[in-house]
A and B are shown apart, each in its own frame.
Chain A
Amino acid sequence: DADVTQTPRNRITKTGKRIMLECSQTKGHDRMYWYRQDPGLGLQLIYYSFDVKDINKGEISDGYSVSRQAQAKFSLSLESAIPNQTALYFCATSDSGQGTYNEQFFGPGTRLTVL
């Protein structure tokens, strides 16, 4: 089945460490997104990419960076992790062929804890 996968699924790290979260998809979609979710706050967009050469900041990009290594791969890095980056992180994809509809499909998520 075409799918969105994320690694790792759980990660505990310490303040100041560099962390990379990875996302891969077999849906053939060209658009990819990174979100974080905090309890009671819904999903907030961190970065998004409409194709391999396109990277855009979302509403909460400070402290994060991304790399789009291929159409199917989009990685999120925390340069120097801090405790308030403890959250659930989701990758999502969508297909530009849908035009304005932009249905997005989510990976299983990474639970990140920064001590």
Chain B
Amino acid sequence: QKEVEQNSGPLSVPEGAIASLNCTYSDRGSQSFFWYRQYSGKSPELIMSIYSNGDKEDGRFTAQLNKASQYVSLLIRDSQPSDSATYLCAVNIDYKLSFGAGTTVTVRA
């Protein structure tokens, strides 16, 4: 079993809709959780960090963490064409990040 798994996608959403991305992790000792956005051929860009159970909102992005279920999600509200990218879930275990394979999101006009 991989340490970090994401819904495989690709995910296609209409402009203005909500995109929902999911991630599960296997190590209960994980301490912090991140979502990175990666445009094709570019480097990962940190967009959300979450450390405690519950929701964290930043602009159109909301991260949700449930440590009991070992689950972290990312919601993108009012999706825009510029949100079309691959989203990587990362989990911090002993100061090293384990990454999921990513979910590619396409926002269609």
Q: Are A106 and B32 in contact (CB under 8 A)?
A: no
Q: Are A107 and B97 in contact (CB under 8 A)?
A: no
CB distance from B89 to the nearest CB of A (A): 9
CB distance from A3 to the nearest CB of B (A): 11
Q: Are B88 and A42 in contact (CB under 8 A)?
A: yes
Q: Tell me how many residues of B have a C-beta within 8 Å of chain A.
A: 23
Given A58-B96, A100-B92, verify A109-B46 contact (CB < 8 Å). no
Contacts of A50 in B (CB 8 A): 95
Of the listed stretches B37-45, B53-61, B66-74, name the one at the interface; the rest are far from the partner chain. Answer: B37-45
Interface pairs (23), CB distance under 8 Å: A33-B97, A42-B4, A42-B88, A42-B101, A43-B90, A44-B99, A58-B96, A90-B44, A94-B95, A100-B32, A100-B92, A100-B95, A101-B32, A101-B51, A102-B95, A102-B97, A103-B32, A103-B49, A104-B34, A104-B90, A106-B44, A108-B43, A109-B43
Residues of chain A whose beta carbon lies under 8 Å from any beta carbon of chain B: 31, 33, 40-45, 48, 50, 58, 90, 94, 100-109, 111
